[in-house]
Amino acid sequence: MHPFRLPVPELWEDILQKIKASGMRMVSIYTHWGFHAPTPDSVDFSTGPRNITRFLEMAKDNGLYVTVRPGPHINGELNGGGMALWATTDEYGALRLNGTAYTEAWTPYQDGISQLTRPYQLTEDGTVLMYQIENEYAKQWRDEKARIPNLEAVSYMEKLEENARTNGIVVPLIHNVPNRSGPSWSKDYDTVDAGGNVDIYGLDSYPQCWSCILDQCGPITPWAVSNYSDQFQYASPKQPSLMPEFQGGATTPWDGPLGGCPERTGVGFVNFYYRDNIAQRVTMLTLYMIYGGTNWGWLAAPFLGSSYDYGAAISEDRSIGDKYYEIKNLGLFTRVADELAHTERVGTGLDYTNNTDLFTTELRNPDTGAGFYVIRHADTASASEEWFVLKVNTSIGEFFVPKISSAVVLSGHEGKILVADFHFGDHTLYYSTAEILTYSIIDGRPVLVLWTPRGRSGEFYLKGAKEGTISSGPPVTIVAIEHGIIIGYYDQKEVMTVLDFDNGVRVVLVDRKTAYEVWAPALTNDPKVPVDQTALVIGPHLVRSALLTDNTTISLTGDTNRTTPLEVFTFSSMTRILWNGMDLPTTQTNHSTLRATIPAPPSTDSFQPPQITSWKSHDALPERHPSYPDTGPAWSPLNTTTFPLSANPHGFHTGTLLWRGHFTTTPNNTNTTTPTPIAIHLAIQGGAAHGWSAYLNGVYLGSWPGRKDTAVSNLTLAFPEEVLVENMRENVVLVVSNGDVERCGKRVGLTVFREELWASQPSLN
């Protein structure tokens, strides 16, 4: 997330709690050089939304690891790529290189962010896990194949790295190479000691385009997958596979569809692509964006409007829906699947199932033997319904599953992760054709939650059990065999089934919709989220937190939008539920869970806003009047005939600008061939989609309303005869312009900015 795009610090915790509840363990943040250092002589990390210490404290309190990404260049569809715009003039020389003036420009900001981060690192009992150097700067090599380094770029990276280390940053330094564009800054690839390498190489990818306008990304093949595995093997084979950015949505330019394009990265995208990343052994993945926010105060690059919703799982208004829940289904699984973090890709192909329309990847943990089979359509564009049985390799042999229930079904744009020899607590699941949602250790007893789509079958083989009982829900088939028990079921209802086994294991079966309402809140702020320090809560729209407030009470916080049945799997000593501080009448079920009902929130249907009377108005543009004095510190006098008039030298790089000019007409009694002007021609450079309005002596003349692809505008405006003051008296023209010039944008390695805000010499006609 970008704290500067949600400039109310009190709201940051709402987003952090939703990230935590989704099963994710880390939040990645950009910090914005221009936002924290608006002028060359100021750096602010303490006031309001600039208080990054407050953000890091909130993340720690909520048990989230943090990746800090301070640039200096961050991109983010920001004006100047997040760089301080005052540094983008020729005064500081070439940017994103090792020049002295540019280095002196970024040093106070980089000093500040690294120093405030230092006490929040993992090594200092904090939660900052990684620290990024620059962003999207694939410039290490002048010749990648020959390994001929770009010495200026190397020197620049080394200066940034030295700054971080000198200021106490000891956690791993990372970098994000854009769009799989080479191995820059990977110590594995740098066999010639070129320098500038970080500890962990990372790459980003937006397989369905970062923009809702596909033309901005070139040819896009729907549902195509990229070969990240080979890219990491080429660039960083000895490192964890890190994606500091993977597509979480898409931004909406001016000519994009109203409301963005959330359907392009919806539930199917999440299910399919994020599982495919796991199949390719991506170890660490950050979604860009999980929450986008709003482009306040001329932050955005000129091709964007005010919204940065991004089609993210948490919307601009901070609401959540099915996309968020689908992420949660995978996030909760990866949080408990510790064995997944260390795997080898031991096989891929069409022969793992009896259906050659399906492609399978087998991952295997070399230490524990745990296996993970990731199944998808061989034709990634296909959404056909495919039935299959899967060949699994387990510690008791190799066989096809399911054995006693109907075949597994892959339908639509989705993938599946099915396990073999999966260890949970002290127990083992030989296999499961249902996906694992999560598990918790409660009173020393594992509670495992499995899910399938509604109406589909499932089957699992539990090691060591001899008997099983149905404690709640519809019937299942129970078959005791040599090494344990096989459970099969044919039609997963929209209802929960609870199974208890004589080896102490409890298994809960749910459909996808019910899984969306299953939460596993941590009872601690340890970001590792120990499985014996979680509860399982079923029912609410959102569960933000859980806390054991005394020996008998579990206190939950969260959100509901209706009357909601609530069921809690927690320690047997708990007999009472608090919901947002409300004491709920609680009963215990015959399978030792707690049940209650959360009342609906108060209705707003009857709300009537108060009547507001005695309205007052205030002139918002007094500068248009001739009597207004254009003197004082807010004005820069330009007694010049040199044009164009540039705003840059006066410290104005973006936003609303007022240009005020004076002229006099010829005396009425003078013999002259100079005619009285009847119009003015204006040319303004304000960046794409800029606009402006002009006034003569306080009277509106006309406007340039803006065009998405026009950075320089030209317009001739007529002078009304009744407004023009003649006979050597002064006339005042005011032009109010707003806009921003993309001074860095998405181009990596850009070193000199030549665009700026200006007004040409007005021509009186």
Q: Is 23 in contact with 331 (CB distance < 8 Å)?
A: yes
Strands (E), 235-321: 242-247, 284-288
Residue tagged active-site, from 77, 245, 623, 742: 245
- Tell me how far the alpha carbon of residue 668 is from its chain's centroid: 66
Question: What 3-state class would DSSP assign to 15?
Answer: helix
Count of CB atoms situated within 10 Å of the CB of 191: 8
Q: Is 120 in contact with 126 (CB distance < 8 Å)?
A: yes
Count of CB atoms situated within 10 Å of the CB of 672: 8
Residue found by looking up tokens 């961050």 in the block: 74
Task: Give the integer Cα–Cα distance in Å for 487 and 236.
Answer: 42
Q: Is 302 in contact with 358 (CB distance < 8 Å)?
A: no
Q: Helix axis angle, 100-117 relative to 151-166, nearest 10°?
A: 30
How many CA atoms within 13 Å lie on the side-chain side of 297?
9
Residue tagged active-site, from 136, 161, 339, 362: 136
* Single-letter code of the amino acid located at 160: L
Task: Give the integer Cα–Cα distance in Å for 440 and 522.
Answer: 10
Task: Give the integer Cα–Cα distance in Å for 684 and 673.
Answer: 30
Structure tokens at 558: 């969260």
In angstroms and rounded to an integer, the radius of gyration of the C-alpha atoms of the chain is 31
Burial class of residue 714 (count of CB atoms within 10 Å of its CB; 0-12, 13-18, 19+): exposed
The long-range contacts involving 333-336, CB below 8 angstroms and separated by at least 24 positions, are 333/23, 333/417, 333/435, 333/436, 333/437, 333/438, 334/23, 334/278, 335/23, 335/24, 335/25, 335/438, 335/520, 335/529, 336/424, 336/436, 336/438, 336/439, 336/531
How many CA atoms within 13 Å lie on the side-chain side of 764?
17
Q: What is the DSSP letter of 677?
A: P
* Inter-CA distances, 306 with 36, 77, 298, 378, 657, Å: 20, 12, 8, 40, 19
Q: Quick one: which of 517, 551, 561, 549 has its CA closest to 536?
A: 517
Residues contacting 519, CB < 8 A, separation 6+: 21, 536, 537, 538, 540, 542, 543, 558
Q: Are strands 536-538 and 587-588 parallel, antiparallel or unpaired?
A: unpaired
Q: Is 236 in contact with 276 (CB distance < 8 Å)?
A: no
* Single-letter code of the amino acid located at 242: L
Residues contacting 570, CB < 8 A, separation 6+: 442, 535, 536, 554, 593, 594
Active-site annotation holds for 10: no
* Single-letter code of the amino acid located at 251: T
Question: What 3-state class would DSSP assign to 686?
Answer: coil
Q: Helix axis angle, 100-117 relative to 52-61, nearest 10°?
A: 40
Task: Give the integer Cα–Cα distance in Å for 571 and 592.
Answer: 9
Q: Is 395 in contact with 373 (CB distance < 8 Å)?
A: no
Residue found by looking up tokens 């344990």 in the block: 484
Active-site annotation holds for 136: yes
Structure tokens at 227: 């070969």
Structure tokens at 334: 């990866």
Residue found by looking up tokens 């999980």 in the block: 290
Strands (E), 299-406: 344-349, 358-364, 371-377, 386-388, 390-394, 397-401
Task: Give the integer Cα–Cα distance in Å for 558 and 601.
Answer: 12
* Single-letter code of the amino acid located at 192: V
Q: Is 572 in contact with 554 (CB distance < 8 Å)?
A: no
Q: Dmax over Cα atoms in the chain, in whole Å?
A: 117
Q: Are strands 468-472 and 435-442 parallel, antiparallel or unpaired?
A: unpaired
Active-site residue numbers?
A: 136, 245
